[in-house]
Structure 1
Amino acid sequence: MTASSTRRSHRFHASLWWLRRLLTAAGTLVAASLLVFVATTLAPGDAATAQLAGQASPERIAELRHDMGLDHPPWERYGHWLWGALHGDLGTSYVNGEPVSQLIAARAGNSLLLGAVAAALLVPIAISLGLWAGLRAGRVVDRAVSTSTLTLVSLPEFVTGTLLVLLFAVGLGWFPAVSVPSADGSVLSEPQVLVLPVMTLLSVCLAQNVRLVRSGVIAATASDAAQAARLGGVPERRVVLRWVLPAAVVPAVPVLARYLSYLLGGTLVAETLFGYPGLAAALVNATAARDAPVVLGVTVLVAAMTVALNVLADALAASLNPAARNGT
């Protein structure tokens, strides 16, 4: 096979790989939106009954349901919403009549900021701690890091968050227990409200990735390449930077990227726990009010970002291991 035909084959496999991933992503989003719509439809009550709350006659409830379009068949309502979503229109809130995209935009920035801060800290801390523990395998430092990460990974996020509040908010008084900015402030102007939610988000993700990098460092340190470099007189510092660190980090990169999507979902838990003004509050309020368009809009947005990050993780894995992409 000539070089040009080999390149064409590689481009074909890469295009086919991306096509499969994009079709899978689109199918996942449609399935997620359908499941959420079915769940909101099967839930007792609807937006009309939630708004009137038994304070009106059945005729008034029926009139409000007609105004909201809730008297149409479910399949017709879902088809109308899906068609609008494909054209960038996520519908209108049943509660206040505002476009769902505007409601989401007002909250999404705070959620993205929380997830971005956690993600920016996750990668360097996980690599640093994993490298530090792996180079000192079996020593006190390694045992301390391993015990700490094992403890963190065994605790649910809400338990970790509660313990952080008890320690840093109630006990030491360093940070606020509730992550709500003042009325005339914003999250960026009061960064202290981010500390405990970010620490809660990092607890599980950091523990898993530190252990992964640590295992890679231990294996790379004992590899033939590292041993040969040492026998050749290469300084230990250079051995770590040239052979150990790349061999340990490269396999962990796709896993780290996949954990970024976990951070996105975890923000909803942290936001609820700390009262943070993000998408979680909008989702909880919309669910209580049976505001189906807002519930659909928020969940589809979270699902879309999760799918995008997972595709990114798959792309990183494929770039590091082309055989996986080519199906060989």
Structure 2
Amino acid sequence: MKAIIIGASGQIGYAFYQLLNKAGWEVVLLCRSPLPYMVDVQTTEVLRFDRYERASFDKMMSAGADLVIDLVAFGEEEGLQLLEMQSDYSSLIVSSSSSVYQDAYGRTLDEAGSCGFPLFDKPILETNATVEAGPATYSTRKVALEEVLLSGSRNPLTILRPCAIYGAYSQHPREWWFVKRMLDQRRQIPVAYRGESLFHTTSGRLIAEVGLAAVGLRQTQVVNVGDASPLSVLEIGETIADYLDYNGKLVPIDKGEGNFKDIGMTPWSVPRPFVLDTTRSEGILAGAGLKNRDYLSSIHRYLFNLVGQYGVKNWESAFPQLAAYPFEQFDYAAEDRYLAHLAGKNLK
């Protein structure tokens, strides 16, 4: 059996590769940047080029595959590209996003800052409303990708909608927000929204397990993927603290205002729960003899990998997606001022 992974250098590509390699597949890994992990050279081919180099891409695809896994398709153009080559593969897995969902008032994650955070009164089903397809935002492009593929694919197709993804070789390691503070020996770490925020986490390995199990069903499906029993931000922090033997204190705070508005704002901090209904993915896993994984059972190997990067001189270069957040994430001086302000209020 042969699989092609498009966009193989990140956390999801690594997870898919590990499972396919273990199962004895021949694998072609396509990536633009250097591959950060080791591969089995006897069964694995690594190709370095951009998918938009059409001659190279078409040559790779025309060699044929039983399965194509596309982790970097972002819109209609990539969807049409995959459809043009579908006679050369048998099944397709595409990574979309849970950010495609909108609430009853049309609010989305993309526009949460300007229009208000979406409100979902119960876990989000795959049948919930999504944004309109189009080129405007990340989410509208993902919906355009989904619609093109769902309407034109003649092969079995699985579209995966994960939430806050984590795993080895991530360029967006949300856990770094806690890990760096704890390794920097910050004695107090303020956590906004009193640490009660729920923003569903998804391990890269779980995404790969669900995707490969779904292929066996030989059908077209859209599937939410999220860890079992999602944790609050405070529980995530406590889990990381336990792993690192951190002896400081997590300080639940209300959302700050004015000069303190970004204090305690972790990459999972949201004013309302954003939680997926994972019934469908759990059924797919059960059919393959697997169980959904929770954060506690998935995080340790990833944290080991992440802690190993603590010595990097420039974390912004190592984790560019995390660095792109619109506020300073490690402004310790501002945190100290806020904690002093909070201590002063408590003395009155």
Structure richer in strand, relative to its length = 2
Structure having greater relative contact order (Cα 8 Å, sep ≥ 6): 1
Compare CA radii of gyration and give the structure with the larger one: 1
Structure richer in helix, relative to its length = 1
Say whether the fold is shared (TM-score over 0.5).
no
TM-score bracket for this pair, using the shorter chain length = under 0.3
TM-score (norm 2): 0.25
TM-score (norm 1): 0.26
